[in-house]
Amino acid sequence: MSPASAPNPIVPTASARGAPLVRVVNLSKEFPAGSTGIIGGTKLSVKAVAGVNLEIQPGETLGLVGESGSGKSTLGRLILKLLEPTEGSVFFDGRDLSTLGREELRMLRQQMQLVFQDPYASLNPRMRVRSIVGEGIEIHKLARGKEKEDRIAELLAMVGMSADAMDRLPHEFSGGQRQRIGIARALAVNPRFLVLDEPVSALDVSIQAQIINLLQDLQEKLKLTYLFIAHDLRVVEHISNRVAIMYLGKIVEIATRDEIYLNPRHPYTRALLSAIPTIDTAHRPERIKLPGEMPSPMNPPSGCAFHPRCPYAKDVCTNIEPKLETGRGGHAVSCHVFPAP
Ligand code: SF4
């Protein structure tokens, strides 16, 4: 995949950053996972997200990358308040979402939308495109009658589809077209922030680039802010201003796009980068094969949770959990052996 455009250039540099649009403070989410005995056993839980802190600037795309089970989709849903955190806070435009009443939250939710991974499953197969895209317009009473029809046509045009798509059902479209409809649905309520949860993972590689280019164009035109979730670093490279790497519910590295790709520090980031297929064999990094699978979040390893798979692990790694320390240019890493630059 080789999308032509670069990440949104209007995002302020680290030194010129103002108030973030999204701020996440010490956010955690535990899910109950049964108990050790039938009667009176110890209650078990899965810590899907564990003490995450991050900020997203207006107009920025933050890529969030991790293997399946790393907690990245849960984090996206916590930010949108589709899930209640066990601990911690989410601020949107300076407002703590946990302090808002129902009506205030409903109004703010309009500004924060989700685009799903699977365009096949996320569209109701019995609803015509007119109703799918128009649903949010109706719920939030944004337009009626002819004005609503015109707005739906405008949204479809924005995502590169013609107005005659309105009368058709989802199964009449290709995967890429369905994802365009999903994006139009998210845009219908004039959001400022989109969580894009693996929006291209279910698509062919050739279509992935088209959707990423569309998202970049829309971001520039509508001044949108994105959290772009993906399971590999290849997909987020061309769209992200910064990239965060997640492992077992925690951010283990976060930096500008160039720092992550040119100066990765954490061994997990390096392993993910080495797995990206490339035709540039002269600059291909040596493939780092990680042993085993990601451990269960129900029973995370002691110390650095990555230590059972890390080729550089030392004694300290098994006993003491490294902190996420921030270094030059906001490059933050949690590793005893390869600290922040
Ligand atoms: Fe590897 Fe140790 Fe760094 Fe963890 S702290 S990533 S085990 S070197």
What is the Å distance from ligand 1's center to 306 Cα? Answer: 6
Show the tokens assigned to 135. Answer: 């649903």
pLDDT (0 to 100) of residue 275: 81
pTM listed for this prediction: 0.90
Tell whether ligand 1 has an atom less than 6 A from the beta carbon of residue 307: yes
pLDDT (0 to 100) of residue 64: 97
What are the φ/ψ torsions at residue 203 (nearest 5 degrees)? -105, 160
What percentage of the chain has pLDDT greater than the value 70? 91
Q: Which residue blocks in the chain are alpha helix, DSSP H?
A: 72-79, 102-109, 129-139, 145-158, 175-187, 205-222, 233-236, 257-262, 267-274, 315-319
Quote the CA–CA distance of 157 and 150 in Å, as a whole number: 10
- C-alpha distance across the termini of the chain, in Å: 30
- Cα distances (Å, whole numbers) of residue 82 to 106, 117, 141: 12, 16, 22
Q: Diameter of the chain by CA atoms?
A: 69
Quote the CA–CA distance of 189 and 203 in Å, as a whole number: 25
Choice from 251, 306, 321, 334 to test ligand 1 binding pocket (greatest atom count within 8 A of CB)? 306
* Residue ranges in the chain modelled with pLDDT below 50: 1-4, 14-15
What are the chain's domains?
Answer: 19-35+43-333 (3.40.50.300)
pLDDT (0 to 100) of residue 282: 61
Q: Which residue blocks in 15-141 are alpha helix, DSSP H?
A: 72-79, 102-109, 129-139
Which pairing describes strands 250-256 and 332-333: parallel, antiparallel, or unpaired?
Answer: antiparallel
Quote the CA–CA distance of 83 and 8 in Å, as a whole number: 29
Quote the CA–CA distance of 306 and 272 in Å, as a whole number: 13
Choice from 252, 272, 310, 321 to test ligand 1 binding pocket (greatest atom count within 8 A of CB)? 310
pLDDT (0 to 100) of residue 281: 60
Quote the CA–CA distance of 97 and 7 in Å, as a whole number: 28
Residue nearest atom 7 of ligand 1, based on CA coordinates = 307
Tell whether ligand 1 has an atom less than 6 A from the beta carbon of residue 304: yes
